[in-house]
Chains A and B, each alone.
Chain A
């Protein structure tokens, strides 16, 4: 099997997943530097339309567990690229190998690639369109970002979790299961709704904007609903894509990063508490332009390495969001307190 990149690069490797469609499997080629967590990443809907390169060279070591450990019901990546695939996995919780899972899910994968060289190329050129194919070079590279990826990965109907007094709307733009797990508590009811669902008609106290794939400007209906929730003075928390959606609703702008942040080791500085820095899990290709934030908003976190925005909040109203993933899975759990703080705040408001 071969990986074709838009710049003409051709890399040959060994297939260990499903066969590609005859015209090739297209996607935006991105890299993730996490050393564990392939199961969580593959099922993260934010990866929809992307061919994922793992920089850690050994993938498949601990196999694949049963679906309750997934971040969604299925694999969302378009394809997987690794240096070495491990078929003979070893883990008490594993029920199948990564290769068998990929095959069953119809996702192509390739091993034997110099993933470091490929990563450096992506770093230099920025993310690139590519295709996995058993045949010749595809004539045209399809761009997944031209489609509304959120619409593709969002749930199609409302679903409710828990029976607590605090009613939280979770707008599913491709939400990871661990966000739901993090929000579902004794005192909460989580109402998970499709990305374009007008939740403002529901009885609710707070809104959580989930992560999700692609360009945030594609989510115009969601942005409109957020504006309504703001007018209704509801408490809002955004995560990842949710950070960008909240920023857009507030009137700020977003842009595409050269090669995104996809890793488990991104340092995020707390602008409001100088000297504090958090190790965060990230997966995003777009970012909020902090300079375009309206006056009554402020940056909450910034990336310590490249200065990009990692979170925003309103100076007086209960609206905030983070670009990283406090729900982790995969990655470090150091910012899980963001959910705790959010729910504590709702608790203090004593909703009936």
Chain B
């Protein structure tokens, strides 16, 4: 290792978005560990406040072993990175640990001469190699030098060149945007018209687009490759996509190791991978993707990602090999033979893991949160999370993984809402193709036919058929010991068997245990048992007769948060990791249960025993019966563990903290409502209805608008706001399965009210610490989509006092011990409670990092019965922090990018400032917003919006911004003396039209506030918003946010936004 490196700057990946998610918290955190081990000062820029990597040592503590020394919650832009580099003067920089965002920023810093000016060395893979892998033409050229085949393709910079290239290669062609994360702007173009459309989109986010040979149906195989500076090169893992070419690897089910490749194929591709990576000169970790012809064995290299990726996180969890950690060490100059395999503790890192199990990754989509979004999947990534199942046959991992998704699927089973378009869904895949396959097999459609339609290798289809065949036979069979074992070996859950045998899950479990059929605990040891392993990275399987480890007796189990999805993301993993840290600090043996490969909580060294397993009642009970823990933590992993609290408690499992009966009282709408009534706390009126007519009558009685919350959704988004009786009935008939089993809840929607939230920790019914945040947006924007401010800027002290009082009363009534979150509506000095979660909430990392008190650390101590009372200063802060939502609308074709009652944000960022305005602007920039240079398009629906925004627009006008406005907005501004160029409606087909200033990029900010956003208006408003997203033009659609933004911009004009590290604010 070079002795000169004393400080290293790491670039993070920012807010979680589709294509770039929690996996980079894992890679960044491991990089920090690797660097700290060498005594290097670590500086991190990442505005993602909900990550583990952005933790600092606790107040007053010495430097943390595995934590950064300076954390900058700042936008990942050239401007801010330069400020940080100038200030911190790091010796070196790591670009490979923050996804495409960090890589692109690093390339920019190098191009602009920032790195050379401040003498910052790029560690690991050199910039020139990164360019060779990112620029498609260079890439193809470099691989041709060593006779490695790439897909026939041409890089183009204009639409005309694109069309010509396609004509040479022949339609259909694959369109791929260079420099894009998760295949954004990619797709298949069947003809010239489709190609033109694709190219227009692709060029909006990338200067270069690739037209490629179309390889539909070829097998898709990946290798994770590691290389050191001495040219030692290994492949840590290979993976095979169950869904072949044509579906983005992030959208595919992926199995590791490959299942259908022969030795010759496996090693031919492996050899090419090593040859290619050596030629390119990667130092550290990278990923290489292939297409492999299923008949001829011909191959094409599709791409190389010269950085840690989603696949490398998966490979790391699949094999136990700490890829990111090793990659960081190699970047520092270590060599592979010098590094230990930390799983065995005795063997070296220069080896290739041998698996004696297989893993299956399945993506999790949330497209039903978006109205109008198409559920077709293809070459662009749309999934928001993933799960990984480990087992010893394919049937087992397939059924496990489908349950892990937490979408209500009991396994590989035909679903209730399968439509008649079965074969079409298999051929033109949608997010529910796997269930369509289950249904098709159930209907007796042959593997041959399904292969022809889906191109999925028959090997996988045969395994699926095994499940289907067994399912069919089970209802006829006597459930004897042999049949029971067979069912469990094919991955059937007790609940699945119960349904087929028309009995209860509990009865099947009892019967199974009478047969002494239990899963065995196996270790993941990277060497298939060849050497004794030290770590306890574990999974359960029914293909075994022997446990690898001794039963436990005194651990504490923490239930994880499951797959990332909209509404439950990295923030809960942060909470889990904090809980584990505190438990270990208290000398407790920790047991972690989780199934999400993108997490830090599933790193082998975060807990004493890691079960990479289902978070189902059955599996958690299996583990608990084996481990006999002293206690189970259910309050740090979000809703999945929260829902398990009561059933586990009923099985006699010791739950730490608030009694599950009281958790249930807060969850049960009727109970909680009664409780609030008794405490004299107001709440919006609500009614439960079992028919559309009853619902409509109830709504009329309380007065429209109302919020509709169905318990079972057929399609489209779950929650809705109805403004009148007709739309309510129409919605209930179209999208909701309403019955006495599935009632809908109708509640009064309080217009023009504001929202505030309290996050707190209590012990024995006494509130010990709390933080209060306010939303910038009015009620109607889901709290996960809202901009949060801490400390509150506009909330009256009296309101704060009242909120605290209500919180204390609820805490006392539910005798809460541990974390809690209460959401309030505030209108005209009236405070109403809308929700209470007796668990950690999404905003726990935010309030912890802003106040400087780790709420989960305190909560965990409370769970252990420690005294947590102390003086906590959380209200009067000398700075302001703002948390902004991170959206991924660009990925969700057809979705209306307007905030709504249903959450659509995929992530969040937060920034600090000396003032509210500074924090707000930084936070918006961190979420991908860009400040306007000159021209702003205004389209304000309704009179109220126009009047209320007038002062803000005046401020913008004073700053010499030029306005373009739609008909009424322009007229309104002119009337009030503000110049505004009139734009014609799209339908008028007259220039200048609202569409042309967007398409020509005349405007660099669009403020489009719908008159009634919740009424889901369409027409021009939708087109404006959608084109803004498609063409990557900053867009504001909320009145309160528009106002706050304009005021902040005016206040900050001329002040440079500061690059201060987190510690500077706290001290």
Contact of B356 among A37, A56, A265, A266 (CB under 8 A): A56
Given contacts A119-B356, A267-B351, A304-B337, contact A92 B294 (CB under 8 A): yes
A330 contacts across to B, CB distance below 8 A? 263, 267
Q: Are B544 and A116 in contact (CB under 8 A)?
A: yes
- Residue A35 at the chain B interface, CB threshold 8 Å: yes
A195 to B392, CA, bound (A): 41
B549 CB to nearest A CB, Å: 12
B895 contacts across to A, CB distance below 8 A? none
A35 to B520, CA, bound (A): 22
Contact of B544 among A88, A114, A269, A304 (CB under 8 A): A114
Q: Which residue of A lies closest to B460 (CB)?
A: A90
Interface readout for B351-365 with A: 1 if CB under 8 Å, 0 if not? 111111110000000
Q: Are A117 and B546 in contact (CB under 8 A)?
A: yes
A325 to B274, CA, bound (A): 18
B residues 247-301 in Cβ contact with A at 8 Å: 257-264, 266-267, 270-271, 274, 294-297
B residues 1020-1054 in Cβ contact with A at 8 Å: none
Interface readout for A82-125 with B: 1 if CB under 8 Å, 0 if not? 01101011111100000000000000000000111101100100
Which of A201-209, A216-224, A310-318, A331-339 has 4 or more CB atoms under 8 Å from chain B? Answer: A331-339
Q: Which residue of B lies closest to A304 (CB)?
A: B348
Q: Are B263 and A40 in contact (CB under 8 A)?
A: yes
A119 contacts across to B, CB distance below 8 A? 356, 528-530
- Residue A323 at the chain B interface, CB threshold 8 Å: no
- Residue B121 at the chain A interface, CB threshold 8 Å: no
A56 contacts across to B, CB distance below 8 A? 257, 354-356, 528
A282 CB to nearest B CB, Å: 11
- Residue B872 at the chain A interface, CB threshold 8 Å: no
Q: Which residue of B lies closest to A269 (CB)?
A: B337
B355 contacts across to A, CB distance below 8 A? 35, 56
A43 CB to nearest B CB, Å: 11
- Residue A275 at the chain B interface, CB threshold 8 Å: yes
Name which of B263, B352, B544, B545 has the most chain A CB atoms within 10 A of its CB: B263
Q: Are B261 and A265 in contact (CB under 8 A)?
A: no
Contact of B462 among A90, A93, A334 (CB under 8 A): A90
Q: Are A69 and B264 in contact (CB under 8 A)?
A: yes
- Residue B458 at the chain A interface, CB threshold 8 Å: yes
- Residue B381 at the chain A interface, CB threshold 8 Å: no
A277 to B546, CA, bound (A): 35
A244 contacts across to B, CB distance below 8 A? none
Q: Are B346 and A35 in contact (CB under 8 A)?
A: no
Interface readout for B336-374 with A: 1 if CB under 8 Å, 0 if not? 110000000011101111111110000000000000000
A26 contacts across to B, CB distance below 8 A? none
Q: Which residue of B lies closest to A84 (CB)?
A: B393
- Residue A305 at the chain B interface, CB threshold 8 Å: yes
Q: Are B351 and A62 in contact (CB under 8 A)?
A: no
- Residue B116 at the chain A interface, CB threshold 8 Å: no
B337 contacts across to A, CB distance below 8 A? 267, 269, 275-277, 304
Given contacts A33-B528, A279-B234, A305-B346, contact A83 B262 (CB under 8 A): no
A31 contacts across to B, CB distance below 8 A? 529-530
A304 to B337, CA, bound (A): 8
- Chain B contributes a number of interface residues (CB within 8 A of A) equal to 56
Q: Are A88 and B459 in contact (CB under 8 A)?
A: yes
Given contacts A58-B259, A264-B352, A304-B347, contact A33 B529 (CB under 8 A): yes
B296 contacts across to A, CB distance below 8 A? 92
A185 CB to nearest B CB, Å: 19
A62 contacts across to B, CB distance below 8 A? 260-262
B351 contacts across to A, CB distance below 8 A? 265-267, 279, 304-305
A170 to B263, CA, bound (A): 25
Q: Which residue of B lies closest to A37 (CB)?
A: B263
A305 contacts across to B, CB distance below 8 A? 346-348, 351, 531
- Residue B522 at the chain A interface, CB threshold 8 Å: yes
B294 CB to nearest A CB, Å: 6
Q: Which residue of A lies closest to B394 (CB)?
A: A58
Given contacts A61-B459, A62-B262, A93-B262, contact A117 B545 (CB under 8 A): yes
A127 CB to nearest B CB, Å: 13
A residues 296-329 in Cβ contact with B at 8 Å: 304-305, 328-329
A41 to B607, CA, bound (A): 39
Q: How large is the interface on A (under 10, 10 to 19, 20 to 34, 35 or more residues)?
A: 35 or more
Name which of B266, B528, B532 has the most chain A CB atoms within 10 A of its CB: B528
- Residue A57 at the chain B interface, CB threshold 8 Å: yes
B232 contacts across to A, CB distance below 8 A? 275-277
B residues 508-564 in Cβ contact with A at 8 Å: 520, 522, 527-532, 543-546, 548
- Residue A183 at the chain B interface, CB threshold 8 Å: no
Contact of B392 among A36, A65, A83, A123 (CB under 8 A): A83
Q: Are A116 and B522 in contact (CB under 8 A)?
A: yes
B544 contacts across to A, CB distance below 8 A? 114, 116-117
Q: Are B261 and A36 in contact (CB under 8 A)?
A: yes
Given contacts A83-B543, A119-B528, A279-B352, contact A90 B257 (CB under 8 A): no
A67 to B986, CA, bound (A): 69
Q: Are B271 and A304 in contact (CB under 8 A)?
A: no
Q: Are A36 and B263 in contact (CB under 8 A)?
A: yes
Name which of A58, A62, A277, A331 has the most chain B CB atoms within 10 A of its CB: A277
B261 CB to nearest A CB, Å: 7
Q: Which residue of B lies closest to A61 (CB)?
A: B259
Q: Are A34 and B354 in contact (CB under 8 A)?
A: yes
B528 contacts across to A, CB distance below 8 A? 33, 55-56, 116, 119, 263
- Residue B335 at the chain A interface, CB threshold 8 Å: yes
- Residue A150 at the chain B interface, CB threshold 8 Å: no
B residues 608-658 in Cβ contact with A at 8 Å: none
A329 to B265, CA, bound (A): 11
Q: Which residue of A lies closest to B293 (CB)?
A: A92
B259 contacts across to A, CB distance below 8 A? 58, 61
- Residue A39 at the chain B interface, CB threshold 8 Å: yes
A residues 133-171 in Cβ contact with B at 8 Å: none
- Residue B701 at the chain A interface, CB threshold 8 Å: no
A residues 247-296 in Cβ contact with B at 8 Å: 263-267, 269, 275-277, 279
Q: Are B352 and A57 in contact (CB under 8 A)?
A: no
A35 to B318, CA, bound (A): 14
Given contacts A276-B230, A304-B350, contact A55 B529 (CB under 8 A): yes
17 contacts between A and B (CB under 8 A): A33-B528, A35-B257, A36-B261, A36-B263, A57-B358, A57-B543, A58-B393, A58-B394, A83-B392, A93-B262, A116-B529, A116-B546, A116-B548, A305-B348, A329-B263, A331-B263, A334-B274
6 smallest beta-carbon distances between A and B, as pairs: A90-B459, A37-B263, A33-B528, A33-B354, A117-B546, A55-B528
Interface residues of A (CB under 8 A from B): 31, 33-37, 39-40, 55-58, 61-62, 65, 69, 83-84, 86, 88-93, 114-117, 119-120, 123, 263-267, 269, 275-277, 279, 304-305, 328-334
Interface residues of B (CB under 8 A from A): 230-232, 234, 257-264, 266-267, 270-271, 274, 294-297, 335-337, 346-348, 350-358, 392-394, 457-459, 462, 520, 522, 527-532, 543-546, 548
Excluding A83-B543, A116-B528, A276-B232, 17 further A-B contacts by CB distance (< 8 Å) are A33-B527, A36-B258, A37-B266, A56-B257, A56-B355, A57-B393, A84-B393, A86-B459, A116-B356, A120-B548, A267-B348, A279-B234, A305-B351, A329-B263, A332-B270, A332-B352, A333-B271
